Structure 1
Amino acid sequence: MNSLQNLRQVGRRMLTVGISGVTCGGKSSIASLLKSTFPRAKFICQDDFYFPPDESLSKEPGLPNWDSLESIDMVSMTRKVKETIDAYSNEKLPTENLLVIDGFLIFNYPPLAELCDLKYFLTLPFEECLARRQRRTSYNIPDQPTYFTEVAWPMYLVHLKEMRQEGFADQIQYLDGTIDIQENFKRILKDVQAYLDDV
């Protein structure tokens, strides 16, 4: 039984879509496209749940690690997702029956990953990821010169390995972040629409 069939069987009407992957892989761009397509849907972004900077983020003096689960309030994020699902189910709010969760570590925290009916993970090779990261200027805290090579990419590899060992690993659909963003969006949209059309 696939995830959509299981969702219909248990009777929950709000579809939750998790979009994860490597930094600069296209997660937020796809989430934005979904927002344009489903303006009444709900969206939750992991970036909104970072803890304030403190010593617990330090991998070494002067180099904070923003790429770890410890840097994010995953308990609060998971609670927010559950509250959003429950509010829709219990109160029949006038929204699309769709919740999109955007974040680079949402599948490394099982209590949150288990709430995602559809799971997508965007990948990039090292050189392409580095080039995109260097071009990106939207970070609240700019990268230090060695942050990507010493922290972001090594942590990505660690998290990818851990994620592939989780019990739900076979539910994750991998998307090639090097292809046109519209192609990956269309693939996700097809799955989402298949559910929404049948509700």
Structure 2
Amino acid sequence: METSRSPQIVGIGGVSNGGKTTLCLSLVEKLRQAGVNVEMLQQDEFFKEVEDIPWHKSGVFRICDDKVAIDMAKMMEAVRSRVAKMQKTNSAQSAPVLLIEGFLIFNYECLNAMFSRRYFFTLPKDIAWERRLSREYRTPEPAAMFPKHVWPMYLIHYDELKKANVDMVELNGTDGPNTILERVFREVLPSVLR
């Protein structure tokens, strides 16, 4: 009789517009093609209601790139629920994989402790800014949001991880998406095969 295996939980974190979602979506597809049961959770699904997110001290925008903007209790509940569901799903070839993507996923100890692998995107400020300008957001952002909040918070959260010696593989977001995908796929697949 086949026994269930706990999912491998892989975190994809890092800078805003670094390539996290692109990598996750491509990795889901590639792992499924390899016969792996894989699911994905995005931290963006757990933002608090806009009116519950505090205003930046400038009064011009809300501080969405900070821990106070995320409903971590709700996210942890979703992670535990997904893990329990995936443990019931067996595959003859591999352990299930849960990909969790978000800009602050490694900054929460309770969530960070669950990861078997951690990948963290970095980008130079000018490229992050350029990419941010090319994206369309549901709620348009004031121009001051990136230089006054998004980038400084990224640096603060990144520094927290470095000081805590979080074991993570850094990915250069300027590398091509296929190069990054192939690297991560080659590292993740062997760890989940039976």
Per the TM superposition, whether the score is higher than 0.5 is yes
Q: Find the counterpart in structure 1 of residue 119 from structure 2.
A: 120
Aligned length: 184
Could you tell me which amino acid in structure 1 is paired with residue 30 of structure 2? T
Name segments (4+ residues, structure 1) moved above 4 Å.
93-96
Per the alignment, do residues 87 and 157 of structure 1 end up closer, same or farther by CA in structure 2, a change over 3 Å counting?
Answer: same
1:105 equivalenced with 2:104 (yes/no)? yes
Task: Determine if contact 1:120/1:175 at 8 Å carries over to the other structure.
Answer: yes
Partner of 2:163, secondary structure, is coil
How much has 1:68 moved relative to structure 2?
A: 0.5
Taking the TM superposition and a 5 Å limit, the aligned residue runs for 1:69-88 are 69-88=67-86
Q: Find the counterpart in structure 2 of residue 3 from structure 1.
A: none
Percent of residue pairs identical: 28
Q: Find the counterpart in structure 2 of residue 29 from structure 1.
A: 22
Distance 2:160 2:49 in 1: 25
The answer for unaligned runs of 5 or more in structure 2 is none
Distance 2:43 2:30 in 1: 21
RMSD: 1.9
Per the alignment, do residues 45 and 166 of structure 1 end up closer, same or farther by CA in structure 2, a change over 3 Å counting?
Answer: same
Taking the TM superposition and a 5 Å limit, the aligned residue runs for 1:8-23 are 12-23=5-16
1:164 equivalenced with 2:162 (yes/no)? yes
Provide Cα deviations, 1:46-102, integer angstroms capped at 9, x if missing partner: 00000011264211223211101110111111221122112222x236796110001
Distance 2:113 2:5 in 1: 14
Q: Find the counterpart in structure 1 of residue 132 from structure 2.
A: 133
Q: Find the counterpart in structure 1 of residue 182 from structure 2.
A: 186
Distance 2:142 2:95 in 1: 40
Per the alignment, do residues 141 and 96 of structure 1 end up closer, same or farther by CA in structure 2, a change over 3 Å counting?
Answer: farther
How much has 1:182 moved relative to structure 2?
A: 1.0
Partner of 2:119, secondary structure, is strand
Partner of 1:63, secondary structure, is coil
Q: Find the counterpart in structure 2 of residue 6 from structure 1.
A: none
How much has 1:142 moved relative to structure 2?
A: 1.7
Distance 2:140 2:5 in 1: 41
How much has 1:155 moved relative to structure 2?
A: 0.6
Task: Determine if contact 1:42/1:99 at 8 Å carries over to the other structure.
Answer: yes
**TM-score normalized with structure 2 length:** 0.88
Partner of 1:54, secondary structure, is helix
Distance 1:96 1:34 in 2: 15
Could you tell me which amino acid in structure 1 is paired with residue 171 of structure 2? L
